């Protein structure tokens, strides 16, 4: 679950191109998928093996491939307005964040970041996160609650902070989207007033929406006789 939180948090940085709940859900699932390798224990696969826990499924290669597969699946469903490159990058980061968090834990073996090229296991030099016990019963114990507290402190809070900064960083996006819907009902002057006085980035969005607005007004004028909204 903590992995899913980090997956969603990174999505906030890609809000413009991948802002639907569905994409965020895909990021959360991608961030949780690497632990699918625990089923290997049932089949006699050892922790340190290529397919062992924190092995291949925790590698950067796996993250790249999984992201590509999910992008292909989502694109096939015809989700509109997606930037495939940005979506791939988001899902790659979401999946890779899993291995990075595991490498910050104080327990078990390290993470095989470069599998299948190398099965060497790595930890980061700093490992503040307590390793999570497996199973709900174990999680409800005193030790489990201490682990949860450690995850909240080292993962949930930083993720919330990251998401807050990422969302605050894109002030022009929300008015921009609203403007697109309001095209034809408000004047260009009103749009200018709402989006004026912002950064270089917002100037780009303003320019883009002014262009879109002019085009829509032109099309509206051509298709109806009312001609409402024709302004310079």
Which residue lies nearer to Zn ion by CB, 103 or 217? 103
Task: Rule CB under 5 A: say whether 49 interacts with Zn ion.
Answer: no
- Selected from 2, 33, 102, 105, the binder of Zn ion by CB under 5 A is 102
Backbone Cα Rg of the chain: 23
Q: How many residues bind Zn ion (CB under 5 A)?
A: 2
Residues near 89 by beta carbon (within 8 Å), at least 6 away in sequence = 14, 67
Which residue lies nearer to Zn ion by CB, 112 or 172? 112
CA 190 from centre of chain: 34
Which residue lies nearer to Zn ion by CB, 35 or 49? 35
Burial 58-68 (b: 16+ CB within 10 A, else e): bbbebbeebbe
Shortest spacing between CB 67 and Zn ion, in angstroms: 17
Task: Rule CB under 5 A: say whether 123 interacts with Zn ion.
Answer: no
Shortest spacing between CB 196 and Zn ion, in angstroms: 48
- Selected from 35, 68, 144, 156, the binder of Zn ion by CB under 5 A is 35
Shortest spacing between CB 8 and Zn ion, in angstroms: 17
The span of 14-22, 30-38, 151-159, 215-223 binding Zn ion (CB under 5 A) equals: 30-38
Task: Rule CB under 5 A: say whether 179 interacts with Zn ion.
Answer: no
Task: Rule CB under 5 A: say whether 182 interacts with Zn ion.
Answer: no
Shortest spacing between CB 147 and Zn ion, in angstroms: 14
Shortest spacing between CB 108 and Zn ion, in angstroms: 9
Which among 3, 167, 1 has a CA at the least distance from the CA of 94? Answer: 3
Shortest spacing between CB 195 and Zn ion, in angstroms: 44
- What's the rounded Cα separation, in Å, for the pair 163 and 167? 6
Residues lying near Zn ion in the complex (CB under 5 A): 35, 102
């Amino acid at each position: 679950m903590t992995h899913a939180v980090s997956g969603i948090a990174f999505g906030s940085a890609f809000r413009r191109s991948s802002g639907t709940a569905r994409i965020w859900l895909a990021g959360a699932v991608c961030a949780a998928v690497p632990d699918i390798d625990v089923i290997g224990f049932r089949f006699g696969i050892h922790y340190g093996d290529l397919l062992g826990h924190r092995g291949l499924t925790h590698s950067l290669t796996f993250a790249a491939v999984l992201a590509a597969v999910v992008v292909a699946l989502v694109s096939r469903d015809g989700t509109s307005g997606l930037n495939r490159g940005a979506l791939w990058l988001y899902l790659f980061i979401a999946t890779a964040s899993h291995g990075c968090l595991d490498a910050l834990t104080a327990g078990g073996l390290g993470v095989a970041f470069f599998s299948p090229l190398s099965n060497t296991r790595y930890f980061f030099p700093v490992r503040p996160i307590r390793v999570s016990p497996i199973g709900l019963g174990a999680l409800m114990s005193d030790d489990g609650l201490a682990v949860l507290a450690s995850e909240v402190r080292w993962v949930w809070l930083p993720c919330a902070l990251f998401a807050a900064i990422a969302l605050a960083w894109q002030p022009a996006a929300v008015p921009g989207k609203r403007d697109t819907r309001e095209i034809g009902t408000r004047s260009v002057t009103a749009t200018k007033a709402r989006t004026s006085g912002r950064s270089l980035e917002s100037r780009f969005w303003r320019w883009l929406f002014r262009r879109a607005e002019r085009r829509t007004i032109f099309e509206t004028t051509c298709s109806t006789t009312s001609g409402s909204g024709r302004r310079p």
